[in-house]
Amino acid sequence: MAPRPRGAAGPVDERELLSAGDVARTIARMAHQVIEKTALGSPGAPAIVLLGIPRRGAPLARRLAARIAEFSGHRVPVGVLDITLYRDDLRRRPTRPLESTRLPDGGIDEALVVLVDDVLFSGRTVRAALDALRDHGRPRAIQLAVLVDRGHRELPIRADYVGKNVPTARSEQIAVLLDEVDGRDGVLLRRRSGEEVASP
């Protein structure tokens, strides 16, 4: 039998895990959790900085900051942290384009940095982000917020704020869609039917 070309293993089975409304509610809940866990605004609480990891972590961080401001009245600085130059898999793929890193004017020294990303999977992106942060300063603490945790960690890393836990198979794909990048909001689970049997 002729080998099937990769990526043509059959029709893609797609299921919606979160609707646009669910995404908005999830971000709002995460905002409340950040306010509570960091004791935002109370005396002695550390300054908070949200850093989004491109691409979709960046708009997520901005939305999270907007909801935090709405619920608590405190404006938290938002930045973008590109981790491409710190990846451990650069030589396994064609050259990746870079995004710009933009830290808030106040920097991150002594701040409580909350890293924001769309999906937590192997944990390698977060590991790269921790390395990158070390070159930018010395935060008082670092926390992690993700919209979806899909499991399959390859490193001892966990999130402090999780929008939704989704048990997945490795071969499945999680697609987080955000209006700023994709034109609409939503979280999809994609699975190629017959994929498991098609693999050699």
Partner 1 sequence: MKHLLSAENLDRDTATALLDTADHLKRTLLGREVRKLPTLRGRTVLTVFYENSTRTRVSFEVAGKWMSADVVNVSATGSSVGKGESLRDTALTLSAAGADCVILRHPASGAAHRLATWLDGTPTAVVNAGDGTHEHPTQALLDAATLRERLGSLAGRRVAIVGDVLHSRVARSNVRLLATLGAEVTLVAPPTLLPAGVERWPVAGISHDLDAELPGLDAVMLLRVQAERMHGGFFPSAREYSIAYGMNETRLRRLPEHAVVLHPGPMLRGMEISSSVADSPRSAITEQVRNGVHVRMAVLYHLLAGEEHAE
Name the residue among 42, 36, 41, 67 with its Cα closest to residue 147.
67
Q: Rounded to an integer, what distance in angstroms lies between the CA atom of residue 70 and that of residue 31?
A: 9
Query: What 3-state class would DSSP assign to 78?
Result: strand
Q: How far is the CB of 138 from partner 1 (least distance, A)?
A: 9
d(CA 171, CA 174): 10
The yes or no reply on residue 104 touching partner 1 (CB under 8 A) is no
Which residue among 59, 65, 86, 142 contacts partner 1 (CB under 8 A)?
86
98 belongs to the binding site for partner 1 (CB under 8 A) = yes
Rounded to a whole number of angstroms, the minimum distance from the CB of residue 158 to partner 1 is 24
Cα–Cα dist 145/143, whole Å: 7
Closer to partner 1 at the Cβ: 39 or 98? 98
Rounded CA separation 48/75 (Å) = 9
Only one of the segments 15-23, 62-70, 95-103, 190-198 lies at the binding site for partner 1 (rule: CB under 8 A); that segment is 95-103
Strand order in the sheet with 12-18: 12-18, 186-192, 173-177
Query: Judged by CB under 8 A, which stretch of 88-96, 113-121, 143-151, 158-166 contacts partner 1?
Result: 88-96
Q: Is residue 44 a contact point for partner 1 (CB under 8 A)? A: no
Binding to partner 1 by residue 102, rule CB under 8 A? yes
- Please tell me whether residue 99 binds partner 1 under the rule CB under 8 A: yes
Instruction: Name the CA dihedral angle for 138, 73, 63, 119, rounded to a multiple of 10 degrees.
Output: 50
65: left (phi over 0), alpha (psi -120 to 50) or beta: alpha
Number of shown-chain residues binding partner 1 (CB under 8 A): 21
The correct pick among 101, 130, 173, 181 for binding partner 1 (CB under 8 A) is 101
91 lies in the site for partner 1, by CB under 8 A:
yes
Minimum gap (Å) between residue 135 Cβ and partner 1: 4
Under the criterion CB under 8 A, does residue 90 sit at the interface with partner 1? yes
The CA–CA distances, whole Å, from 43 to 21, 38, 78, 80, 163 equal: 34, 11, 21, 27, 28
Q: Contact positions toward partner 1, by CB under 8 A?
A: 82, 85-86, 90-102, 131, 134-137
